[in-house]
């Protein structure tokens, strides 16, 4: 079975976290920045644990200093994704890294990303949409400018609002104002939860932020009542198995709960998160799901149908992607 060429929908990626290491090294050289400390000898990203990963991630982002850099980044990311069969991708984009929360600057960065995405759609057959994301470990007050940027640019390329970053900073209720603001603007909502915080973090995220999708969410498996709530509500989980294994959120592929969640009726999808940081691709995710749980084309077709139904895109785009997937 050729997993690489199989058409795929991917809902959980971070634009900067998808940057190939060689791309970041190239930008660092162009700008005279010494980022040698964030790379291993083989050229891959180097970090010790999740907290250090966040530091390395933000160090890599220092090379991205203007809209043109984000144009180039978007092109590089989509070329890589398309090579692994991805036909539709949603990515988290943060005004904090694109103009520091200034709306005027954010619009310029956004225009550059949109231009690159349109070219990739035309040339590579991959469609990209953005989810404006506040950075949790920056704190709720710091999230207000980013949320404002999201609300003001919602529609077209920007399809939703969410939160990423250090999950154990604060509690979901601390950020409810930001999500209320986005909800009032009609934005679909996402939040990272349950990768590290266990079922209580998933529960509180559902209660206080009222999201449509949860990034990861795997900690829910330890609370049967919560699993049933997810199944009954139809909230979709953006599961990133390779990322979870690589970071140690679970011990192994064999112990990953994606199959148990799916068997319980929870809507699950498959994504790579930050693929070059975690040594994965969508092809590898499919290969490992096949090897570990015996998933075959009908399973992947079902997961892609689930992902497309949960995507934050408009109906016209959804119909276009359905044709690319060619699944009943």
Joined together, the tokens standing for residue 108 give 């310029």
Nearest to 60 by CA among 103, 99, 22: 22
Q: Which domain holds residue 164?
A: 8-316
Classify residue 304: in a domain, yes or no.
yes
Classify residue 3: in a domain, yes or no.
no
Query: pLDDT confidence of 198, banded at 50, 70, 90?
Result: very high
Classify residue 2: in a domain, yes or no.
no
pLDDT at 328: 55
- Looking at the structure of the chain, the number of domains it has is 1
pLDDT digits (tens, 9 = 90+) for 77-112: 999 999 999 999 999 999 999 999 999 999 999 999
Nearest to 174 by CA among 212, 125, 141, 211: 141
Classify residue 323: in a domain, yes or no.
no
Q: What is the mean pLDDT of the chain?
A: 95
* Cα Rg of the chain, angstroms: 18
Classify residue 292: in a domain, yes or no.
yes
Query: pLDDT confidence of 57, banded at 50, 70, 90?
Result: confident
Classify residue 324: in a domain, yes or no.
no
pLDDT at 71: 97
Return the active site residues: 195
Neighbours of 227 (CB within 10 A): 22
Alpha carbon 249 to chain centroid distance?
Answer: 17
Nearest to 61 by CA among 92, 35, 88, 81: 35
E-strand ranges in the chain read: 8-14, 86-93, 127-135, 158-164, 190-193, 213-216, 236-239, 267-270
Transcribe 143-182 into DSSP letters: HHHHHHHHHHT-BTTEEEEEEES-TTSS-GGGGHHHHHHH
pLDDT digits (tens, 9 = 90+) for 5-29: 999 999 999 999 999 999 999 999 9
Measured CA to CA, the distance from residue 124 to residue 79 in angstroms comes to 7
Contacts of 110 (CB under 8 A, 6+ apart): 93, 98, 130, 153, 157, 158
CATH value at residue 85: 3.20.20.140
Beta bridge partners of 273: 13
pLDDT higher than threshold 80 for residue 44: yes
């Amino acid at each position: 079975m050729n997993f690489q060429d199989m058409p795929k929908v991917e809902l959980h990626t971070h634009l900067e976290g998808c940057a190939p290491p060689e791309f970041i090294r190239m930008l660092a050289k162009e700008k005279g920045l010494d980022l040698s400390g964030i790379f291993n000898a083989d050229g891959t990203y180097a970090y010790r644990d999740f907290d250090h990963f966040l530091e390395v991630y933000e160090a890599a982002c220092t090379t991205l200093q203007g809209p043109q850099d984000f144009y180039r980044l978007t092109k590089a990311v989509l070329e890589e994704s398309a090579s692994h069969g991805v036909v539709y991708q949603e990515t988290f984009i943060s005004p904090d890294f694109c103009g520091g929360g200034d709306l005027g600057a954010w619009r310029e960065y956004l225009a550059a990303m949109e231009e690159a995405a349109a070219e990739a759609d035309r040339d590579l057959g991959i469609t990209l949409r953005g989810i404006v994301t506040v950075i949790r470990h920056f704190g709720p007050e710091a999230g207000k400018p980013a949320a404002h940027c999201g609300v003001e640019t919602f529609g077209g390329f920007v399809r939703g609002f969410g939160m990423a970053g250090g999950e154990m900073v604060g509690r979901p209720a601390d950020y409810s104002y930001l999500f209320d603001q986005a909800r009032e603007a009609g934005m679909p909502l996402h939040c990272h939860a349950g990768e590290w915080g266990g079922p209580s973090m998933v529960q509180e995220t559902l209660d206080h932020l009222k999201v449509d999708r949860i990034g990861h969410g795997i900690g829910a498996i330890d609370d049967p009542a919560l699993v049933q709530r997810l199944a009954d509500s139809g909230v979709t989980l953006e599961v990133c198995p390779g990322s979870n294994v690589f970071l140690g959120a679970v011990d192994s592929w064999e112990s990953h709960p994606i199959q148990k969640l799916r068997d319980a009726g929870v809507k699950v999808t498959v994504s790579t998160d930050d693929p070059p940081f975690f040594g994965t691709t969508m092809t590898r995710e499919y290969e490992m799901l096949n090897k570990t749980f015996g998933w075959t084309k009908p399973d992947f077709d079902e997961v892609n149908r689930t992902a497309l139904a949960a995507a934050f895109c408009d109906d016209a785009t959804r119909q276009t992607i359905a044709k690319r997937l060619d699944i009943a």
